Amino acid sequence: MEPKVFIYTSAVLYAVSTLHYLLYLIFRKNKLAVVGLYSARFGFLTNLIGALLLLFKGGAQTLFTPKGAFLIFALTLVSVFLYFSTKHRLSLTGAFLMPWATLFSVLASVSSGVPKVELPVGFVGVIHIVSAFLGYSAFMFSALLSVIYLIFERHLKKKKFSVFFFKLPSLTKLESVIYHSITVGFVFITFSMFVGAVWSEELFGTYWSWHPKQVATLISWFTYAGIIHLYLYGNWKGKRICYLSILGFSIILLNFLGVNLLSKKDVHSFKG
């Protein structure tokens, strides 16, 4: 079975999920959210199968191509969404997260999956990239939820009633989920850094080589370490943690776009 069949299927299912979550946002019918949830779940399964088939057919190095990168990003983003939306009953976030999963799946379906640089990726390399994307996805979730928090808080102050009041928990609860997703992302990105150091030693004989990706990731790590410290000990809560979360993900985005997608072809470049 070709991976592209499952990649296309996941893109369609994610699009169906996106449509129903947007309709849920407008019409406030729980059945729409249920359809969106199950479409996301089935899309996750086909996404996972597509990624595994791509991995087994083309080897671990295919994960370091545009097709592999966007496929893993979609997979990890939906896994983070399913975890938090189920645990905290935040169906509303589907209208903000699933469009991105759809976009990543579509990009995966049209991107190259043939690596031009042979890489001895191995099991360590696979763990490194998957854990990194899980961290990115958790940070993306926290940033998008921060945007929802800021809109919700502004509407409350102005006593405006809108769709953002529907099925949303309290601001305190939203803040707690934002912090939770930041800590989850921090754990995964920390684990990815340690695994990446082991992988670097296998490839280059050194744990640290001052590669731009290593430096950018270290900056991201210190940024989120600072955010967690300010939240716990500096009383940077409410809108402050939201602004910090958005800032942190902006750095992650620059890291991903600048190093992984735009840099020259090397071990950290997702180019086919």
Domain ranges within the chain, ordered by starting residue:
3-261
Query: Which residues have CB under 8 Å from 212's CB, separation 6+?
Result: 258, 259, 263, 268
Reported as a pLDDT band with limits 50, 70 and 90, residue 261 is low
* pTM: predicted TM-score of the whole model, two decimal places: 0.92
Please report, as a single letter, which amino acid is at residue 243.
Y
What's the confidence (pLDDT) of residue 144? 95
Question: Is the per-residue pLDDT at 205 higher than 90?
Answer: no
What's the confidence (pLDDT) of residue 272? 52
Reported as a pLDDT band with limits 50, 70 and 90, residue 7 is very high
Mean pLDDT over all residues of the chain? 89
Q: Across 166-240, where does the E strand assignment appear?
A: none
Reported as a pLDDT band with limits 50, 70 and 90, residue 185 is very high
Question: Is the per-residue pLDDT at 269 higher than 70?
Answer: no
CA angle 8, 14, 16 (to 5 degrees): 105
What's the confidence (pLDDT) of residue 136? 96
Please tell me the least confidently modeled range out of 28-42, 46-60, 88-102, 111-125.
Answer: 111-125
Report the Cα 74 to chain-centroid distance in Å.
7
What's the confidence (pLDDT) of residue 266? 55
d(CA 124, CA 229): 30
Reported as a pLDDT band with limits 50, 70 and 90, residue 263 is low
Question: Is the per-residue pLDDT at 72 higher than 90?
Answer: yes
Between the alpha carbon of residue 61 and those of residues 64, 107, 123, 193, 269, the distances in Å are 5, 18, 11, 19, 11
Best mean pLDDT range from 36-40, 198-202, 267-271: 36-40
Query: Which residues have CB under 8 Å from 53's CB, separation 6+?
Result: 1, 2, 3, 6
Tens digits of residue pLDDT in 102-145: 999 999 999 988 776 666 778 888 999 999 999 999 999 999 99
The number of C-alpha atoms within 13 Å of 75 and in the hemisphere containing its C-beta is 23
